[in-house]
Chains A and B, each alone.
Chain A
Amino acid sequence: MGDFQAKPFTAKGGIAMKNNIRVERAIKNITQGELADLVSVSRQTINTIESNKYVPSTVLALKIARVFGKPLEEVFVLEEGD
């Protein structure tokens, strides 16, 4: 049962999703908990998204991007996997 939910979200061809939430949070100077409250999820969810263990739904991703006032692609990026 290993490391949870790391694999199913790596699409075929080894493309993975990265995000700049940690950086954006630092710019806006808010904690994980505050961001979690703003988009009404738990802090665990924000934490696992930041560490790329969980890929948020489109709705949640859009909400997060709205909090930072940036387009989606500036917060979440597709990246060639290792």
Chain B
Amino acid sequence: MKSRFLFPFWFRYLGTALFLVHVPFVFFKRPPDPVDAQHIADNTLFNNGHLFFMATTLLMAVGLFFIAFAKEKIEDEQISQLRLDSLQWAIYLNYFLLIIGLILTTDTEHILFLNLMVPLFFFIVRFRWVIFKLNHSLPKEG
């Protein structure tokens, strides 16, 4: 079965690597000090804060994207069925959280960030989980 618009299998490892690279950045390297009055006023594109944000967020998003849309070892029709199914769940959850977030907070910046993370993250978790269950239910074969 032909599946279009999917990355080769090894993109899963590339994606994991990108995602792992972004983690220490976020934890150990703070963005440039925002207390500095100049930085607060500095709203131009490509200032330090923007570059940092761009680098980390892009690493994370692209990493998750590669993991999510890399081919399975055997990409058959059932896998694409599960893929679509998980994608649907992810979108449902995303919009549910988005609506809840819009009603309950005014913090639009973090809502946006959540919106960036949730679909990919939940999709990956759900997709892996269903495949895990599938493999688990598989009887041993002599």
| Residues of A contacting B89 in the complex (Cβ-Cβ under 8 angstroms) | 1
Number of B residues whose C-beta is below 8 Å from A? 21
B72 to A, closest residue via Cβ: A42
Number of A residues whose C-beta is below 8 Å from B? 19
Does A10 have its Cβ within 8 Å of any Cβ on chain B? no
List CB contacts (< 8 Å) of B67-89 with chain A. 74, 76-79, 81-82, 85, 89
List CB contacts (< 8 Å) of B127-142 with chain A. 130-131, 133-135, 137-139, 141-142
A42 touching B142 in the complex, CB below 8 Å, given contacts A5-B81, A47-B137 = no
| Most chain B CB neighbours (cut-off 10 Å) among A41, A48, A59 | A41
Is B76 touching A45 in the complex (CB atoms < 8 A)?
yes
Is B141 touching A40 in the complex (CB atoms < 8 A)?
no
Assembly CA distance A3 to B46 (angstroms): 49
Is B135 touching A44 in the complex (CB atoms < 8 A)?
yes
Q: Which 5 A-B pairs have the closest CB atoms?
A: A41-B76, A42-B74, A45-B78, A44-B134, A45-B76
